[in-house]
Amino acid sequence: PGSSSLEGASGNSPTGDATIINLPREGGTGDIAKTALVPVTREFTAEEQINISVYDKVSQSVVNINTKARRGEYWMLGGPQNQEGSGSGWVLDNQGHIVTNHHVIENADVITVTLSEDKDSYTATVIGSDPQNDIAVLKIQAADDLLKPVQLGESRTIRVGQKIFAI
């Protein structure tokens, strides 16, 4: 003669949405016998499916960019200070060209690029930079099979009102 009702509360599991279910003890004492984390199956909206698809197509083309700059400013007579920064970019082609924002590499003395599927870092050189439009092109020397260029669309086919994704 125990209670068979389940108490549920929404929660998050490490792998996605889940519901926490408290199972009562036999005899209806009100104590909880155990707690179960039950995955919740959910459908993605059409917009979410598009976003996921875009991510899946370009994620291996996204790179991590780290910068170091040595500044002549002295801090408490300790000498020049090093500044570090980071940002992201994407692989343009199989020749090792990387597109990023100008502000990511501005004033950097050393620029390193890490590819998504290769944890080695590559020293980059600045090919060109446009501060006003906040864009820069870098070049790294990496094996062709490690470079996964983003497949670009045709700007002449884009219509006003269309959704675009900035990578």
Instruction: Give residue 131's pLDDT.
Output: 97
Instruction: Give residue 18's pLDDT.
Output: 66
Cβ neighbors of 13 (< 8 A, separation 6 or more) are 37, 39
Give the separation between CA 166 and CA 58, rounded to whole angstroms: 11
Q: Are 141 and 124 in contact, with CB atoms under 8 Å apart?
A: no
pLDDT under 70: residue ranges of the chain: 1-41, 72-80
Task: Write out the two tokens for 152.
Answer: 């670009």
Q: Are 121 and 113 in contact, with CB atoms under 8 Å apart?
A: yes
Give the separation between CA 59 and CA 139, rounded to whole angstroms: 19
Instruction: Give residue 7's pLDDT.
Output: 43
What 3-state DSSP class applies to 114?
A: strand
Instruction: Give residue 5's pLDDT.
Output: 41
What are the tens digits of pLDDT across the range 53-98? 989 999 999 999 999 998 766 655 666 678 899 999 999 999 999 9
Instruction: Give residue 6's pLDDT.
Output: 41
pTM of the model: 0.68
Instruction: Give residue 162's pLDDT.
Output: 87
